[in-house]
Amino acid sequence: MTGRDRLRELLDAVLDEEHGSLAEMAGGAYASPYHFSRELSRHAGEPPVAMRRRVMLERAAWRLRRGASVTDAAFEAGYDSVEGFTRAFAKAFGQPPSQRPAGHWLPAPNGIHFHPPMSLWVESGSRPAGGDVTALMVHHDLDDTRALLEAAKGVPDEELERVRLPEHTILTWDGPDETLGQLLEHLVFSKEVWLASIEGEDVPPSRPRDVVSLLDRHDAVAPRWLAMVRDVERRGAWQDRLVDALCDPPESFVLGSVLAHVITYSAHRRELARQLLGRPPGEGDPILWLRRRLEEES
């Protein structure tokens, strides 16, 4: 049996729903608990109990995003009480499960994650934070957008719609960017509409752009956007062309240029929104963002 097959067998033993303890996992892999723990730690760089706990929390986050109750997610993840699950979830994701996280992956030392409905996703390699510039820029864009939406929660509706940048338009087909509300809405809608083009869906309908609605929309589109980027990266398809039938007449776009387009104009809008919110200059610097993430993971 090759090392790669053995790792798959070890991971299957970790993931099996009937294996709630180290002894049960080891039995599923036909090994003693000591040797099972030692072998998995050597192959995957993570003890089996810690890996199962993390993967099951990722699964719980995915279930919550799909509408499962906190109680159901807690017991499906193997917790004896909702209180214990809530504490573990909040510690891992930085927010209680009732808030429904934007994504379901947690930091992993080995690139091994839960993949729905009940599988594992093994990334091509464990990359150090900051080592993949594309991933860094995509994650930073999503995190910074959400931070700005959170900061805008206390802004009255009339202030959101007050013209602060007269006659300001960033992209003609998006319409004016004269108000804070327009800037924030365009940050979310740009990903919604490009995903619709890539996935062959209809143009997203017009929806409310109050801050609570925008947060809900952002939290819905963010994991789909990340999944699209990961899929294109996995397939090495950044040079593929998208014939966008949502345009009139239809236009052709290279996928890599679409991502560059979204990140470029998102960065511009985020800085304008930051100024209108009165946030400190430089607050959205990706250097500071990555430094904070590394500190949180250490």
Model confidence over 252-275: pLDDT tens digits?
Answer: 788 999 999 999 999 999 999 999
Question: What CATH homologous superfamily does 3-122 map to?
Answer: Homeodomain-like (1.10.10.60)
Cα–Cα distance between 226 and 267 in angstroms, integer?
Answer: 17
Query: The tokens of 112 are what?
Result: 């091994």
Distances from the Cα of 155 to the Cα of 17, 55, 104, 162, angstroms: 46, 38, 29, 11
Task: Name the fold adopted by 133-297.
Answer: Four Helix Bundle (Hemerythrin (Met), subunit A) (1.20.120)
Assign 3-state DSSP to the chain and report helix, strand, coil percentages, each to 5: 60, 5, 35
Please tell me the predicted confidence (pLDDT) of residue 1. Answer: 33
CB of 240 closer than 8 Å to CB of 254:
yes
What contacts 281, CB < 8 A, 6 or more positions away? Answer: none
Q: Is pLDDT at 226 greater than 80 in this prediction? A: yes
Instruction: Indicate the range of 6-10, 141-145, 243-247, 274-278 predicted with least confidence.
Output: 243-247
Cα–Cα distance between 281 and 214 in angstroms, integer?
Answer: 24
CB of 219 closer than 8 Å to CB of 67:
no
DSSP 118-171: TEEEE-SS-PPTTS-HHHHHHHHHHHHHHHHHHHGGGS-HHHHTS-SSTT--SS
Closest residue by Cα to residue 135 from 269, 198, 225, 196: 225
Residue 30 DSSP class: T
Closest residue by Cα to residue 189 from 203, 200, 169, 170: 203
Mean pLDDT to the nearest integer, 89-109: 83
Q: Is pLDDT at 89 greater than 70 in this prediction? A: yes
Residue 254 DSSP class: E
Q: Is pLDDT at 177 greater than 90 in this prediction? A: yes
The full set of domain ranges for the chain reads 3-122, 133-297
Instruction: Indicate the range of 52-66, 147-161, 164-178, 283-297 predicted with least confidence.
Output: 283-297
Mean pLDDT to the nearest integer, 147-176: 94
Please tell me the predicted confidence (pLDDT) of residue 296. Answer: 67
Give the phi and the psi of residue 107 in degrees, each rounded to 5: -55, 135
- Backbone conformation region of residue 236, classed left if phi is above 0, alpha if psi is from -120 to 50, else beta: left
Sign of CA dihedral 122, 124, 130, 135: negative
Query: The tokens of 255 are what?
Result: 């996928």
Mean pLDDT to the nearest integer, 101-116: 78
Mean pLDDT to the nearest integer, 45-72: 88
Q: Is pLDDT at 69 greater than 90 in this prediction? A: yes
Mean pLDDT to the nearest integer, 235-258: 78
Highest mean pLDDT among 4-13, 17-26, 82-91, 194-203: 82-91
Distances from the Cα of 163 to the Cα of 190, 195, 271, angstroms: 21, 29, 17
pTM for the whole thing?
0.58
Please tell me the predicted confidence (pLDDT) of residue 278. Answer: 94
Please tell me the predicted confidence (pLDDT) of residue 128. Answer: 36
Please tell me the predicted confidence (pLDDT) of residue 118. Answer: 66
Q: Is pLDDT at 97 greater than 80 in this prediction? A: yes
